[in-house]
């Protein structure tokens, strides 16, 4: 990535340093030198000419990463680009993102991965770790050029946005992918059960008069892929879980020490199908998988708190306004999430007392990287200086017109939140300062 000039040294002073992996939860300083953390502790001497950032009253943590985003480039630059999506990422406190391959054309070969890597070098505000496709054009029929994509920089593979329907094909994929020691990211969905479904099957779908989407459509696919992971030994990461039954299947898999990890999104944690009754036919509430019941959301949270679910990911899915203005059944699935995820977790879990700052680091920094096998980022000397600083008391209202993202389709528009990233350092470079994105 090309970078604007920065001082040789930056010191973050007087913040609450939180990093469970380093045994840190104390007030102190972090000295950054030439892209690396040089020292961590209390009363660090400020080098001459260093940039000084006052972090008193703030929380300093390892840089957050979102392992499930859609940057839409190439093909739908009207919805998002590498530049706009990574601006949204650092605004939300993220130092790295993992874009899904369902672009136009699909990222299913090494050249497509290289395009993304090279574009990110010039235009990204944070680190970009590409995800390649499992199958050619994500149609579930033939293996994509997985080896070439890995050699070009892909860190995992997924057919996100669709699901391989053939168990035999999924086994073939896993048998092949395990040779590269990367995970298969699975979008779990049995299309024959989903049918024309657009919201959770049950009372709400009946009341609204729209086709329902049963939980079993996810749970059967989760069960199948866990069993195939056990059969092949391939690492499996389950994307955007939405059902209580899925959580229990992952819990059972982990009890057998299978190489299975899972993620949950803020919208599945903090919204339920009931929202569709007060905001009937609001297409910003239409997502894949759909919002489920309060019991499902409660079990997702329980799974996150007890370690069954490894991380929070946004499934940031930007769409153009004219698309979301279609009739509910015709509008595309998805909500933006990069600029609201951290604040939602802080508001609903930290400030409520249900979780601590160590949980935030585990769910949004360490857990995601471990799931994808990426190097750990820590608040220790020698670690890359990817750092997120949070103002825990910053109150703000979600106003999509103020997003850095090119799209406005937020399921949380109008929500009052408490907590926001104030500074973000990526490789020692200040990417967010005082809550404002720093231009490249």
Which of 96, 126, 92 is closest to 389 using CA atoms? 92
Kindly give the interhelix angle for 216-232 and 244-255, rounded to the nearest 10 degrees.
20
Which of 352, 262, 259, 347 is closest to 299 using CA atoms? 262
281 Rama sector, left if φ>0, alpha if ψ -120 to 50, beta otherwise: left
Q: Is the CB of residue 134 less than 8 Å from the CB of residue 176?
A: no
Cis peptide leading into 105, omega within 30 of 0? yes
Residue 315 falls in the annotated catalytic set: yes
Integer Cα distance of 51 and 321 in angstroms: 41
- What phi and psi values does residue 84 have, to the nearest 5 degrees? -70, -40
Helices within 354-425 (DSSP H only): 357-361, 367-372
Q: Which of 315, 386, 391, 427 is catalytic?
A: 315
Would you state the structure tokens that stand for residue 116, as one six-digit string?
A: 């993304």
Cis peptide leading into 289, omega within 30 of 0? yes
Integer Cα distance of 358 and 44 in angstroms: 23
Q: In sequence order, what are the residues at sequence separation of 6 or more whose Cβ sits closer than 8 angstroms to the Cβ of residue 436?
A: none
3-state helix, strand, coil in the chain (%, to 5): 35, 25, 45
Would you state the structure tokens that stand for residue 136, as one six-digit string?
A: 């050619």
| Long-range contacts of residues 345-350, Cβ cutoff 8 Å, at least 24 apart | 345/266, 345/312, 346/390, 346/392, 346/417, 346/418, 346/419, 347/417, 347/418, 347/419, 348/269, 348/270, 349/301, 350/392, 350/419
Specify the 3-state DSSP secondary structure of 195: coil
Q: How many CB atoms lie within 10 A of CB 437?
A: 17
Give the CA-trace dihedral at 75, 79, 80, 85, to 10 degrees: -150
Would you state the structure tokens that stand for residue 123, as one six-digit string?
A: 């235009």
Q: How many CB atoms lie within 10 A of CB 141?
A: 11
- Residue numbers annotated as active site: 315
């Amino acid at each position: 990535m090309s970078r604007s000039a920065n001082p040789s040294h930056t010191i973050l002073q007087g913040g609450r340093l939180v990093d469970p992996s380093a045994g840190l939860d104390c007030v102190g300083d972090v000295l950054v030198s030439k892209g690396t953390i040089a020292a961590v502790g209390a009363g660090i001497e400020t080098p001459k000419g260093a940039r000084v950032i006052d972090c008193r009253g703030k929380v300093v943590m390892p840089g957050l990463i979102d392992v499930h985003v859609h940057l839409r480039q190439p093909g739908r630059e009207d919805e998002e680009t590498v530049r706009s999506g990574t601006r949204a990422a650092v605004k939300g406190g993220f130092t790295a993102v993992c874009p899904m391959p369902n672009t136009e054309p699909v990222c299913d070969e090494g050249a497509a991965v290289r395009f993304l890597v090279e574009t990110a070098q010039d235009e990204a505000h944070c680190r970009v770790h590409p995800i390649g496709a499992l199958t050619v054009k994500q149609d579930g029929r033939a293996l994509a050029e997985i080896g070439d994509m890995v050699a070009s920089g892909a860190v995992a593979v997924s057919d996100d946005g669709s699901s391989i329907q053939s168990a035999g094909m999924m086994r073939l994929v896993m048998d092949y992918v395990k040779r590269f020691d990367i995970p298969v990211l699975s979008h779990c969905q049995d299309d024959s059960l989903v049918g024309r479904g657009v919201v959770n099957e049950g009372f709400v779908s009946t009341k609204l008069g729209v086709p329902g989407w049963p939980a079993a459509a996810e749970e059967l696919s989760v069960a199948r892929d866990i069993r195939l992971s056990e059969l092949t030994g391939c690492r499996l990461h389950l994307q955007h879980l939405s059902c209580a039954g899925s959580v229990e299947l992952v819990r059972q898999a982990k009890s057998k020490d299978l190489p299975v990890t899972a993620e949950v999104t803020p919208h599945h944690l903090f919204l339920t199908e009931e929202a569709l009754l007060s905001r009937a036919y609001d297409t910003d509430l239409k997502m894949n998988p759909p919002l489920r019941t309060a019991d499902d959301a409660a079990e997702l949270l329980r799974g996150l708190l007890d370690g069954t679910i490894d991380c929070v990911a946004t499934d940031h899915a930007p769409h153009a306004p004219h698309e979301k203005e279609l009739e509910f059944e015709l509008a595309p699935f998805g909500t933006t999430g990069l600029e609201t995820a951290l604040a939602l977790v802080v508001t609903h879990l930290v400030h409520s007392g249900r979780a601590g700052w160590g949980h935030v680091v585990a769910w949004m920094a360490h857990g995601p990287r471990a799931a994808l096998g990426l190097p750990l980022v820590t608040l220790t000397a020698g670690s890359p200086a990817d750092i997120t600083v949070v103002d825990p008391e910053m109150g703000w209202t979600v106003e999509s017109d103020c997003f850095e993202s090119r799209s406005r389709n937020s399921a949380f528009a109008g929500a009052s939140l408490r907590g926001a990233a104030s500074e973000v350092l990526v490789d020692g470079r200040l990417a967010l300062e005082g809550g404002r994105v720093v231009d490249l």
